[in-house]
A and B are shown apart, each in its own frame.
Chain A
Amino acid sequence: AQSVAQPEDQVNVAEGNPLTVKCTYSVSGNPYLFWYVQYPNRGLQFLLKYITGDNLVKGSYGFEAEFNKSQTSFHLKKPSALVSDSALYFCAVRDMDDSWGKLQFGAGTQVVVTP
C-alpha cells in the first residue's frame, strides 16, 4: 500500500520569502512523486514530478522539489513566493511497479501568501 503525508494543513508566508511545503511518502517499491496545485473552483494542475535521476526537480512557475530517499520526503520549494501562489497544494505518490498509474494523494496544504 502507498500513502502520502502532508503534515501542515496551512502554510503562511510573506510575499518575497521562501516557501516550503512538506511531503513524506510510503511505498513498497520505488516511488514516482508528483506535486499538483489547485486554485479555487478549479481542477488539479500538474507542477512537477520525480521519476529518476537528479534529486532536485524543477517545475512550473518557479517551483522545485527535492527527493530525499533516506527521509522518504519530497518537499516543494519556491525561493520567492508570490501572492498568486496562494492555493491548495497536493503531493502524490505512485509505486513504480504499479503499471496502472493510479496516484495516491496527500490531504493537501493550503498556502497563503500575504502582501
Chain B
Amino acid sequence: DVKVTQSSRYLVKRTGEKVFLECVQDMDHENMFWYRQDPGLGLRLIYFSYDVKMKEKGDIPEGYSVSREKKERFSLILESASTNQTSMYLCASRGAGTGKETQYFGPGTRLLVL
C-alpha cells in the first residue's frame, strides 16, 4: 500500500513565524503536491513537483515556498506565517503518467496561526 506521511497532524504557530511542513512518500512517486483545504473552497493547489529539485506554482502559491531535495520528500515552507494561512494542509503523491493513476493523500496537517 502507498503510504504518505506528514510531519505533524496539528500545529499552532504565531504570526511571523517560519513554518515547515514535511511530507514523505514511500512509493517512489515522481509527482508530489501540496494543497490547502478550506470549508466551501475545496482543495486548492499551492505547489507541485514532478521531479527532484523541480517545482511548479499551483493556483495559490503566494506566501509559500517548497523544497524537494530528495524524491521521497516534499516540504512546504511558510516564510512568515499569517492568520489567513490557518488551514488544513494536505500532501499528495502520484506516479508518472496520466489516466487511472490516482493521487494518494497524507493525513493532513491542521495549522492554526495566532
A, B bound: no
**A contact residues vs B (CB 8 Å cutoff):** none
